[in-house]
Amino acid sequence: MRRTPFDPAPGTVNHLLTARLRPDFKRAVAFGLLALVAGTAVRVYADLSWTSLTGSVMALAGSLAFTAPAVLAVRSVASEVAAVSRLRFGDAHASVVGLLVTLAGYTATVVGLLVLLQVPVHKLLLSGAVTGVVLGIAAQQSLANVVAGLVLVLNRPFQVGEEITVHSGALGGDYGGRVLSVGLTYVRLQAPNGVVLLPNSGVLAAVVGPRLS
């Protein structure tokens, strides 16, 4: 396609920025195709009735082969969308968009895995209480950080790029710096001595104010 006189010249800063405003999903598509191939192999060759040892092993291996590239595809899409959003709308919106895309992608991956393994819904309902107790005990801190991350994103006590000070005895004192991102489990803070990862639950329970000079 011919370049018009109004298009930025190749290799210039404006050309690079213009190109970056268009998301590139090549990696995500590649990982998605790998997940699709693995899922197809599970449906064709694996024993989803779990009566054969060989078929069950193939089902488990195929499930891992489906889940791993699917997660990488989600992370690639979230990273690409966040990068484009950062250039278009700024750091604050990019963090929110990246978090929402990640949550939606992981949810779709879990649902796809359940459909792939033909897990009956009534079994999920019957085992839901037991699963909830097990997950609540084993991943209590991680779930608390995820919930706290959602609260931080929705309430926005601070924004990405803002200079803040976090006062918390549970986190070991005061932390001051510029907010780099608000993720699923951590708030990344650019402190004077380097990047600090603060658990979302600790930040939510802390006193947050402007950075002290």
Please report the pLDDT score of residue 205 as a whole number.
84
pTM beyond 0.85, yes or no: no
Q: Are 160 and 92 in contact (CB under 8 A)?
A: yes
Please report the pLDDT score of residue 131 as a whole number.
63
Domains of the chain, by residue range, sit at 13-119, 157-210
Residues of the chain falling short of pLDDT 50: 1-19
Q: What CATH number belongs to 157-210? A: 2.30.30.60
68-96 residue pLDDT tens:
999 999 999 988 888 887 776 666 667 77
CA–CA separation, 76 and 66 (whole Å) = 16
Tokens (6 digits) for 27? 């990696």
For 116-120, the CB contacts below 8 A with 24+ separation are 116/39, 116/42, 116/43, 116/63, 116/66, 117/42, 117/48, 117/59, 117/63, 118/48
SS3 at position 5: coil
